[in-house]
Structure 1
């Protein structure tokens, strides 16, 4: 685990190795244990290392037998032992015990197709000195991000965008097209980033740079066809054995390892499999909020404790009332890009807590996508039933939906909010209904906020649907998730927030073999009878008790909506004041004021939209106004006075 970065001059002139120190220092948190770089004429590559495997001998850059190939790699290769044995048998000689060294010899053996042999989470840069070519690549799922920028005859890349901002002549400017999409979705999808001129390498892609040109190609994609002729019992067996295999494989580590535990199905399944794979108690970490009723609504500690006791884990829990004003600037600096998902705050807090004991953590991220855990996966199921109602009842239901309150911080208000959302989308097309479930504000509202930008100029969800050809509605949504929200929201925040404290977070439920299996499972099995995760729940019935398997789903976020109506209200009013919005010159102040008023009156739940605007403005004060995050923190704290 580390951060990588590098520069290649496309015109063949020499690259400056002195820039490696600047790019590395800004990302020291990703790799506090070691650093290194290799220069060869027009190409220089570097890294910061967090030591996980082969602590003494895994220094990077790594090289092959004749030093014709050089590599920097960020991540873990879980099947490196099997690949290493195969390559040694074929005559390759290894210098270290590092898992990453297999990439060098895999490239020698299998050429540009070598990423297909890897099971892991990674980004890498591989310099072929003989052919004068550079390959930079990203793992299949997008667990590890990779940014790049080309200006003139120089192409630079880095795990974090802020490293690219250290280069001479590079200034931070906002990409207004990306900003319009961010207002719609709450994150920026690849290949764009919030920085004009800086791109993200898409998932499962590799860039080849040679002869002065760069080409990006995709090396892997999800299966498109459902597998027929498989009994339900066989599917359940595949789920159970697949999860067990993946968890066991990802427990390989030379440093202390633990698990996040919320008490939900996904994290509980990971802990259950870890407990069977080791004779030592699993170290588990849980976070909860204490205080108001809204705080308690997000508190999952009792469920986590139940699972911990069941499997005899060494359980650690923390109850927090986070100082959001103090956290936001620093965390958004680490995020590189603004994001509307408050799970980045929770992920940071529990990562900081776990890092006191462990260097590697396993997370349950991904189970909802693979096995149908989100309510949007039931859209077809309920829309079909709604269409059978008499037109008079449909009309009455929609009228009721318009007057329901929109809030999320208690059981009944959350039910009302979800019912309101469903009734508003029941008659939409498949694509529009999916978007309605995911978007934080609709595209017309985003256009009102940014009247000078046509939000239709770039639509990553439309691109994701166009690039997905699954023959099953549930798996079609899975494919769109894999091309958008999962890598650019959930995995992005998981990587950035865990690496803020130099903690390696692994996601065994997103093992690509497990994912390929899930992508061939029909909706009729996956969410049988309209039950979310029906197959997964049945598959895990022998591992987890019914009260955990069938508990209501709870997001891994914060009660930010309630806080914005309460103690953070003054910050909201100041940071999104007409004067502040006017100075920035990007949004319509009247539209912003209307959003705040409608949210406070419970006419609409604009929690995510307001968080998006707040986080963008905090991010802008740091990156666009060139201020330190500490300076912005002091300013925000003054707003509470």
Structure 2
């Protein structure tokens, strides 16, 4: 895993400064603490920060194919291609000679062999810039699900790019300007592909390539969710999912540095840990290292709710004992969640006023602790989106509502708490409705599908294209801020394509969420874990966190200077703060307070306002 940055300008050869490229690249130091390299010619500058995972000694970048004085192609690459061994063997049979043992050189030679269609052969998570000086063409490529980020901006005829917004913002020719419509997209939890809250700064959408050459710049799509009939019965479906997961995990265990699993004790992470244990035991390479997170004195403070019915850690310990993993529970003191330095690190990682409060801070602290022992971690992220695990998938009222389903439970700021001016300026409610119609308009149905399967196909599409990217961005930023690579096996596009087309009655054949995954994991885990009801990532229940949050928002209101109060209504915040102590006992209730604090800090650090 790494960070990339750079530019292309075909109209002004030799006018761009290497010092600016170095400045852009250095903003990504946390993504790549092991090395920094720059490469440039008359038209292109490429910067790379490396987190060494494969072929630690020889996999340096940017990587050049051909003679250094006359290159055929140059690659600046972030991510992992999990089928690189198969591709390497095929390319070697076609005459390609390799100097390294990692996946970067495989990607480079795949382009030389198959041209622009090479990306369709890659299985993995990646974002990269590939420069072909022979035809003066730059490709900016992002993986199918958008696991790895990639941003770009146009500056005249030039295009700037980077793994995170901060890399583009560091270039003197780009001026940060707020795009209120993009901010509404972010605050509304809509996540329209390509949109950011910065004017003229965009994301390369998942499954897309941005091509820049003498004809200008253009986006092209190489992957989308497919629609296909599903012809297997329940036992064969579960068996195929298990077969896919074993192959996926086997590929994603390949690394030259210490690897672990994130083990919450839920079905998703437990299934991955069980499969990883079986694969490593078979190879004589176990045990699996596993990590869970908990809060000091959490058993004393925990209060069960419909949203979070029970604590995770007892189940994580049960799975670890059942599988024989080398397990460690990272216990976080509640005071660490309120420290300014940790809160600042989270916002700095995001570059955006996007935070889930103590969830984000505890994730960052968890990743930082894991990084002391491992460089790579497998995570169960995206299983709920792929298999239909959230409660709202199974709520008839939510299913019947023409809106983004997660908004029935999860919002940063309820619409009524936004100022009238911001709502009117951004057409907030209308904008959200437009974006919902746009997302639904992308869905391709199967001929003859009944109403239930059509609607649940829409649900799957909404989650995989509009909600999952929010969670993947969070996981990427917070893990990379700690120098930890997190791999997400449930995002393998082969699994996503297969499960997306399973009829809803098979997906829920036992009347519960994630039935197919439960069937695929049968026999691998204790029955208590297989039958466990979904519980989200843990948050603190210590009232000291609530008290700190109240104090911070109270100070913001008393000062009454922040532009954040032009967006989140001060009166609505005061009304919220008037609730009795103990009201903010969940992340969901804390979200508006966390959001206005993030907005205020974002304005202060980015625009000194």
The normalised TM-score by structure 2 is: 0.89
For 2:174, the equivalent position in structure 1 comes to 170
For the residue of structure 1 that corresponds to 2:193, the secondary structure is coil
Q: CA deviation at 1:353?
A: 1.3
Q: CA 1:449–1:247 in structure 2 vs 1: closer, same or farther (change >3 Å)?
A: farther
CA RMSD of aligned residues (A): 2.5
Q: 1:484 aligns with which of 452, 456, 466?
A: 466
Q: CA 1:558–1:175 in structure 2 vs 1: closer, same or farther (change >3 Å)?
A: farther
For 1:552, the equivalent position in structure 2 comes to 533
2: distance between equivalents of 1:290 and 1:253? 33
**Is 1:463 matched with 2:438?**
yes
Q: Equivalent residues in 2 for 1:607-626 (5 A)?
A: 607-625=590-608
Q: CA 1:179–1:513 in structure 2 vs 1: closer, same or farther (change >3 Å)?
A: same
Judge which range, 290-299 or 519-528, deviates more: 290-299
For the residue of structure 1 that corresponds to 2:426, the secondary structure is coil
2: distance between equivalents of 1:484 and 1:350? 26
Q: CA 1:570–1:55 in structure 2 vs 1: closer, same or farther (change >3 Å)?
A: same
Q: Equivalent residues in 2 for 1:116-515 (5 A)?
A: 116-185=120-189, 188-227=191-230, 229-278=231-280, 279=284, 280-291=286-297, 294-295=301-302, 299-320=311-332, 321=334, 322-326=336-340, 327-342=342-357, 343-379=359-395, 382-383=396-397, 428-431=400-403, 435-443=407-415, 445-446=417-418, 448=420, 450-451=422-423, 452-455=425-428, 456-457=430-431, 459-471=434-446, 472=453, 473-487=455-469, 489-515=470-496
For 2:449, the equivalent position in structure 1 comes to none
Q: CA deviation at 1:506?
A: 0.5
Unaligned runs of 5+ in 1: 384-424, 627-641
Q: CA 1:83–1:576 in structure 2 vs 1: closer, same or farther (change >3 Å)?
A: farther
For the residue of structure 2 that corresponds to 1:64, the secondary structure is strand
1: distance between equivalents of 2:226 and 2:237? 16
CA contact 2:382–2:490 (8 Å) conserved in 1:
yes
CA contact 1:183–1:609 (8 Å) conserved in 2:
no
Q: CA deviation at 1:81?
A: 0.6
Judge which range, 211-220 or 593-602, deviates more: 593-602
1: distance between equivalents of 2:318 and 2:526? 10
For 1:635, the equivalent position in structure 2 comes to none
Q: CA 1:582–1:331 in structure 2 vs 1: closer, same or farther (change >3 Å)?
A: closer
2: distance between equivalents of 1:263 and 1:120? 26
Judge which range, 590-599 or 145-154, deviates more: 590-599
CA contact 2:129–2:139 (8 Å) conserved in 1:
yes
Q: CA deviation at 1:582?
A: 6.0
| Count of aligned residue pairs for this structure pair | 579
Q: CA deviation at 1:581?
A: 4.5
Q: CA 1:41–1:353 in structure 2 vs 1: closer, same or farther (change >3 Å)?
A: same
Q: CA 1:511–1:609 in structure 2 vs 1: closer, same or farther (change >3 Å)?
A: same
Q: CA deviation at 1:509?
A: 1.4
Q: 1:113 aligns with which of 117, 133, 147?
A: 117
